[in-house]
Amino acid sequence: MSTTVTLVGKRAPVLDQGWIELQDLMGDDLAIVNAARVSYMGETKGPEQDKKLLFYLLANRHTTPFEQVEFKFRVRAPVLVWWQWVRHRTWSFNAQSGRYTPFEESDFYFPPAWRMQAKSNKQMSEGTLPASEGAELTSALAEHYQRSFALYQAALNRGVSRELARIFLPGFSLYYTWVAKTDAHNLMHFLDLRMGPHAQDEIRAYATVIYQEFFRPALPWTAEAFERHVLDKRAAQ
Ligand SMILES: Cc1cc2nc3c(=O)[nH]c(=O)nc-3n(C[C@H](O)[C@H](O)[C@H](O)COP(=O)(O)OP(=O)(O)OC[C@H]3O[C@@H](n4cnc5c(N)ncnc54)[C@H](O)[C@@H]3O)c2cc1C
């Protein structure tokens, strides 16, 4: 059975109740090599030469052959992850709509720890709140979710439309589901940014799962070249 077939349909858990599922995958490392070789109407020349060519392409930013491989994911993640993800304009998205589907009481994100505001960087976290204080905040958050959901439900029960009743719900922490498609070139750009040290922990968790569970097994040569020519260089900077 090919790697493509075993990976498609696989669902990997992320955060407390999110996940990513690979819905579809088109192409593999060889598709990238063969796309590049169409320039002179050639095809595979055996694993050694093929891998060498792929590394050359990535190192020299000959990017379009990597666009011949496509990934389609179904994602369940908090809205705060969605807002960061949709900034990537080279992806195609379709999302669940709170206008059609009512939310459930369990559709809220609980962070595993309360990260503290970083002193050195305005947008980042560093360290975590001590466990006992963290537990107090988590129970306050649970109460807040319950109260918000009760208000949402009460509005729906009065006949208020789903599109308006949802304003009672805490917007950043609601779990949403969407379908997202991109190609290997633009996925590497996303992974480079969102696995990076400046990315928020929550989206970094999704990017890391994409990389480890789907990208690397689907494109082992490309992943090796990406680590050598992009990730390792970035880490050394
Ligand atoms: C750590 C971090 C912090 C961030 N903080 C903020 C923030 O505070 N505020 C904020 O608004 N955003 C923020 N962003 C989002 C960021 O500005 C980008 O919108 C996001 O990372 C998508 O990157 P991109 O445009 O390169 O990717 P994509 O949209 O996927 O585009 C990929 C590449 O295609 C090309 N491209 C795509 N569309 C165009 C276009 N219209 N014109 C020219 N070239 C194009 C560019 O070369 C681009 O790099 C942050 C991102 C990160 C990773």
User: pLDDT of the chain along its 237 residues, tens only?
Assistant: 466 668 999 999 999 999 999 999 999 999 999 999 986 666 777 889 999 999 999 999 999 999 999 999 999 999 999 999 999 999 999 998 888 888 888 899 999 999 988 888 888 888 899 999 999 999 999 999 999 999 999 999 999 999 999 999 999 999 999 999 999 999 999 999 999 999 999 999 999 999 999 999 999 999 999 999 999 988 887
Ligand 1 pocket, residue 189 CB under 6 Å = yes
Cα-to-centroid distance, 61 and ligand 1 (Å)? 19
Residue 122 beta carbon below 6 angstroms from any ligand 1 atom: no
| DSSP 8-state symbol, 22 | E
Note the pLDDT of residue 153. 97
- Cβ of 187 closer than 6 Å to ligand 1, yes or no, is no
CA distances from 186 to 27, 42, 89, 90, 112 (A): 15, 25, 9, 7, 30
Measured from the Cα of 89, ligand 1's closest atom is: 29
**Strands 92-95, 175-183: pairing kind:** antiparallel
Ligand 1 atom with the shortest distance to the CA of 199: 1
Residue nearest atom 42 in ligand 1 by C-alpha distance: 89
Known catalytic residues are 194
What pLDDT was estimated at residue 105?
Answer: 87
Top-level class of domain 3-95+174-236? alpha beta
Residue 218 CA, ligand 1 centroid: distance in Å: 25
Could you give the CA distance from residue 216 to residue 85 in angstroms, rounded to a whole number? 20
DSSP-assigned letters across all residues of 137-201: HHHHHHHHHHHHHHHHHHHHHTT--HHHHGGGS-TTTBEEEEEEEEEHHHHHHHHHHHSSTTS-H
Position 41 scores a pLDDT of 65
d(CA 218, CA 230): 18
| CA 96 from centroid of its chain's CA atoms | 16
- The CA 89 to ligand 1 mean position distance, Å, reads 8
CB 90 less than 6 A from any atom of ligand 1: yes
Q: What's the confidence (pLDDT) of residue 40? A: 67
Helix, strand, coil fractions of the chain, as percent rounded to 5? 50, 20, 30
Give the ligand 1 atom nearest the CA of 194.
53
Q: Letter for the amino acid at 234? A: R
Which pLDDT score, from 0 to 100, does residue 213 have?
98
Distance 196 CA to ligand 1 centre (A): 14
* C-alpha–C-alpha distance, residues 104 and 111, integer Å: 18
- Which candidate, 166, 182, 184, 162, places its Cα nearest to that of 174? 166
As beta bridge partners, residue 21 has 11, 74
Residue to mutate, 90, 181, 187, ligand 1, most ligand atoms under 8 Å from C-beta: 90
For residue 200, the ligand 1 atom closest to its alpha carbon is: 1
Confidence at residue 2, expressed as pLDDT on a 0 to 100 scale: 61
pTM as predicted: 0.94
- 221 and 49 in contact (C-beta within 8 Å)? no
Report CA(75)–ligand 1 centroid distance (Å): 20
Tokens of 123: 């947008």
What's residue 235's pLDDT? 83
Answer whether 121 contacts ligand 1 (Cβ < 6 A): no
User: What order do you get walking across the sheet with 18-26 strand by strand?
Assistant: 11-14, 18-26, 70-78, 175-183, 92-95
Please give the pLDDT value at position 5: 64
